[in-house]
Each structure stands twice: as C-alpha cells, then as structure tokens.
Amino acid sequence: MPDIDKISSLLGALNEQEVYDAIGEIISAQPTGETVLDTILACQKGMEIVGEEFEKGNYFIGELMYAAQIMDEAIGRLKPLLGTAGEGAESGIVVLGSVAGDIHDIGKSIFRSLLEASGFQVVDIGIDQQPEAFVSAIEKHRPHIVGLSGVLTLSIESMRKTVALIEEAGYRSDLKIIIGGSAASEEACFHSGADYWTKNAALGVKKCKEYRSEQQ
Amino acid sequence: MNSNNSIFEERKKTRDDLVSLKKPKRVPVFSIFTLEAACGLAEVSVMEAHYDLSVAEKAYDRICETFYSDSLPVLNLRYPPVYDALGSRNWVLGSNGSMQHSEVELMHTDEYDEFIAGPMKMIMEVFLPRACSELDKDSARAGIALAKAFAEYKSQVRNHAEIYGRLAEKHSYADGIITGPLTVAPFDFIADQLRGIKGIMGDIYRAPEKLLEAVNAVTPHMLKLAVPRGVAERIQCFIPLHLAPLINPAQFDRLYWPSLKRLVESADALGVGSTIFLEQDCTRYIESFDSLPDSMIAWIDDGDRESFAAGLGRNHVFGGFFDPTITLARSKEECIDEAKRLLDTCMDSGHFFFSFNRNVMDIKSIDIAKLAAVLEWVRNNAYY
Amino acid sequence: MKDIEYLGDFDEYMQRHEGISPEQAKLMKDSYEELNDELYRFVMNAIVG
C-alpha cells in the first residue's frame, strides 16, 4: 500500500519528482475513489506545510509558487480518476478576480491554488475586471466570499467601486469581501469597505476558513 | 537656462550635496506621479493624453502646481502608440489607461541554449515576433511595423524630453535621483520579460545552472542599456528591481545578486551611478546593497527603516518608505506626524531624501490636500 | 559587444562598399553605430518597457 502521508512531506519539502513518482505508484495500483480522495487530501496537507513554512519565514513567494505548480500538476493527474466526486463546495465558494485597471495575476493564482488546496471551489473571473463583472459572477455562483486582488495603488478606487456596486445590487450582507495583493492595506480596506485585507495568501485562506465556520 | 534663479540654485545645491554624500542644508523632496495620476488631477482622459502630448503636458503641469517637489515630479516611460504599431502582447493598456506588463512567455524552457549562444538573434528572430503580433508576419510587413514603431519611439522620446525641459524651466526644478536610462537586473530580464514569473519559479528549481548561464549572457546587454553613448557627466540610471524579495536568500545569492553587482559596478566605472528601486521588503539584503559603489542610490518601498538607516544609509543615499495612501484614512496632522517619524529615523546620516514608497499612479489613491500639506511641511521643516 | 552585431556589423558593411576614403569611412562608422545604438534601445524598450 503506497504511503499517502509521505506525499504531504514530499510536497511540503518541494521534492517535485518524488511527489509525481509517489502519485504514479498510487495511480498504477488502481486505487479506489476513497484512496484518490485521501491522496488529494495529502497534497492539500502538503500545501498547508508550505503555507506554514511561508508564515515562519523559511519559505518565500518563490516557494509558494513552485509548490502551487507541483500541487496543480499532482491534482491534475488525480482528478480524472474521481469523475465528478471530487467537485466539492463543502468548504465554500469564492469568487476571485483582479479589479479594474489591474492586470496582475500571479498573487491571485497563488491564492486560488491555496484556496483549492483547502477544499474551496474558486471561480476566478480573471484580470482587469469591472465591478459589473464581479456582480454578475455573484449572481451566477452565489459565493460565500469574494476576493478582490490589486497590486497597483490605482486598484484601491476600483475595489471601492466594486464593493459599492455589490452593496447596490443587494448582495453585500450575504457574503464576506477580502482584498489582497500589494495594494491591500488598512487604509485600502477602510476606504473600499471590505471586511478584511492581507498581503499574505496563507493568512487570506485562514480568514476564509474562519468566515466559513461562522457562516455555517 | 535657470542660471539666475535662486530657487533652482538652492535645489541644485541641495541635490548635488546629497548625491555627493555631503549633508545638505535640508532633506530634499522628490515626489513622483505618473501620467495616469496627473490626468486624474487635471480631470482629463488619460487615453487622450497618451495620444495628444499637449494634454499630457497640461496634466503634468497641474501636478507640478499642486505638489511640492525639488525635482520634476512626473515620469512616463512607456508610450502606447509604439506598442500599437508593434501589436504588443507583453505591454498592454489596462482599462484605466495605464501600461502594464502582461504575463507572456517569450522564451520556452527548451530555448535556453539557443539564447545563451546568441541573445540578440533570439530577441530579434523569436522573442519579438512572439511578443508583437505585427512583427509575427512576413518580412515586408514586419519591416513596416518595425519602422513605424521606431519612428514613433524616437518622436516620443524627443517630445517627452522637451516637455520635461519646459516643466523643469517653468517650475525651477533641479535634477532628481534618476537622470539616465532605464535598465533591469539581469535576472529580472530573464524572469519577467522572457520566461514569465511562473516559468522562472520552476526554472529556479529544475534548471538553475542554465538559468545562471542565461543571466550571465544577458548582463552585458543590461550594462549597455544603462550607459548611453557619449556620456559627458555622471548620471544615474534607473534599475527597478522586481523578483529579489520573492526568492529565498540562497537563490538570491547564487542567481540574482552576482550579475546585478557586476552591472552596477561596471556602470559606475563607466560614469553611470545606479538608482535602484527596492520593491517590497528587501531588509534581509541590506548588507549586499551596502557593498555596492557609493554612487548607488536606494529608493525603498518597504522594510525595517532603522536597519536601512543604520546599514545602507551610512554610506549611501537612500529614501522612500512614505506611503502616500495613508492620506485617505488619516488626518493631516497624523500624516505629518508619520513624515516626522520617518525623518527622525532616517535623516541623521545626511543621506536621506523624502519620497513616496512607490510612484502615485491614481490620484484617487491619495488625498490631494493632505499629501500636498505633508510635502510642504517636509520642505519647510526638514532642516539639519 | 559581438552579440549586438546582429543588428548590423559595420566592418562587414564596409567590405561591400569599396573605394571609400578613411575620413568618409570614419564619418559613416560614427553615424552607423549611432543608429545601431538607437535601434538597440528601441528594441530593448519593446521587451523591457
């Protein structure tokens, strides 16, 4: 029986090829759906280790990004074995996007990977998105949380307009709004009317989990 | 031009003293706003300003009239009409009119060897056509596109120089901390422009030796960009760093730093000092930057101010840290207090200049009256 | 820098144009290299911004 727990440590240690080898072993043993889910969970735990190392200051953004790549590849190899069983929204639905005027994508991608690793279903509406696009996505997907990403300071005003439009559309009290990226700050949070701000993707995921516990 | 102008003379002396590492009479103020911020202030369309420079000039003038600065407080480095002519995919106009870098992989993982063997050839034959749809055509049409873009580029550079000259004359500005060309750290060139950030983060782990070879192969190019032909007097080129704070210290030491150090030292030997923008928190690299030539000027986004002042600030000109967006939520007095605290921490060495942590890109990200008040306060009070 | 010669190698150009005096060649070389330098900066601006 392949060692699933080993996968968490391998991913946490960023041993890319060993992660794929271990997953390959599991796949070739014709695993049950439960084993596949356990393996995905092991990958998620591995990402949690990476997040912890980042918070401790041992890992940097580079490690987060590399880990996210390994994670995406690993999950990509496992998901086909699940059919639709792996699509879970138990943790919650997050609509995520970079606000109008901002075409940066990297931080948002890291945050998305970490959210998915924690079991969230993420609807990434992309970069340079007008407030209307966020409201459309909210109407369609009924998320629990909305994430606004912005790297440039010009995004603060876009964040404010987005939150204002969500309020105007009547959705504000149904969800939590968090802002992230280099432009995020206490002032930006205050000015935009968001609920929470962070420059740290791992802390953002923690907050999302807290919100979901409160909401449920 | 400004020879009988006492405001100009005072600013020039202040700046020249600072840059030669003599304690000036006061802390100079170098504000910096982009074209988008200027258009927001002047309430004109930034799209129009990109294509009609008379609109841009009026907008810049409003910035000059509103916010104190000892040097020209406006800067625009990228010209949309040039990228239009090229059909650029890598430099695009955001919906609000600001030019931003789009993540496009210009160099694939298996092209390192070819690049190392001949960077210019790869740039002209492979990367530019990938980056620019109008160059990805038959040679006649690609030639037309290149000619149009080159003509536009030369015209923009000349017209901008004239605008800056007129504004400097009108408002008696002296030089600031950037008086030369833009270049980038060799690692950032490979990472940002060629492989993309996602690509490079994989390369660091999967092919670090190749990456290092590529970084070394492109270093002479970054030096050539930094040093214009026929430089008569000392100038400061501008090196905005990007990935340094995102990679771990061991990777920085091995892959990022050596070529950057060589670039800065070689440029210095050729008469060009480097003004380096340290984006995000580079506190852990203070010692490395302190080892650079005296002509290195550090414009700092974030980090431990005491450490920078005690470390880098003893032997080098440094400035930044002040976040202008605090003016949105705090009172005028609180913002001035913040500036006071910053000055108390940093000005002792005599090597500090007052500036924002980043250029202001959106006029709505700051409170105009409060920020103007802060700048005036620093100008009138930051004396030694 | 050898690599830059991809944009135009003056010596190679001269080989195709005989009978030019040394004084004229010097003027041409300065002008040629000036243009190469400008083109180089433009090309790099297209990549670096």
- For B339-370, how does the pLDDT look when each residue is reduced to its tens digit (9 = 90+)? 999 999 999 999 999 999 999 999 999 999 99
DSSP A52: H
d(CA B134, CA B88): 8
Closest to B205 (Cβ–Cβ): which among A14, A109, A157? A14
Bridge partners of B74? B33
- For B206-248, how does the pLDDT look when each residue is reduced to its tens digit (9 = 90+)? 999 999 999 999 999 999 999 998 878 999 999 999 999 989 9
Counting as low any pLDDT under 70, the low residues of chain B are 1-4
Bridge partners of B302? B281
Report yes or no on chains A and C touching (3+ CB pairs under 8 A): no
Chain A positions contacting chain B at CB under 8 Å are 14, 16, 59-63, 65-66, 69, 100-106, 109, 128, 130, 152-154, 156-158, 182, 185-188, 190-191
Closest to B95 (Cβ–Cβ): which among A62, A100, A105? A100
Closest to A191 (Cβ–Cβ): which among B246, B329, B360? B329
Mean pLDDT of A9-13: 95
C-alpha angle A97-B322-A99 in degrees, rounded to nearest 5:
10
Report yes or no on chains B and C touching (3+ CB pairs under 8 A): yes
Contact C34 B229 (CB under 8 A): yes
Contact C48 B189 (CB under 8 A): yes
Mean pLDDT of A29-50: 84
B330 and chain A in contact, CB less than 8 A: yes
pLDDT above 90 (res C20): no
d(CA B145, CA B117): 27
Best mutation target among B86, B126, B133, B229 (most C Cβ atoms within 10 Å) is B229
Contact C44 B220 (CB under 8 A): no
Mean pLDDT of A49-56: 86
CB B14 within 8 A of CB B7: no
- Interface size B-C, in CB pairs within 8 Å, comes to 66
Q: What was the pLDDT predicted at A86? A: 46
User: Looking at CA atoms only, how far is residue C5 from chain B in angstroms?
Assistant: 8
pLDDT above 90 (res A97): yes
- Run of H or E residues at A93: strand A93-99
- Chain C neighbours (≥3 Cβ pairs under 8 A) are B
Q: ipTM score of the complex?
A: 0.91
- In chain A, the domains with their CATH numbers are 4-81 (1.10.1240.10), 93-215 (3.40.50.280)
Contact C46 B193 (CB under 8 A): no
Q: What was the pLDDT predicted at A2? A: 56
Query: What order do you get walking across the sheet with B235-240 strand by strand?
Result: B235-240, B272-281, B297-302, B317-320, B352-353
User: Looking at CA atoms only, how far is residue B13 from chain A in angstroms?
Assistant: 33
Best mutation target among C32, C33, C36, C45 (most B Cβ atoms within 10 Å) is C45
Measured in whole angstroms, the distance separating CA A215 from the mean position of its chain's CA atoms is: 18
Structural tokens at position B283 = 């506190």
Contact B204 A62 (CB under 8 A): yes
pTM: 0.89
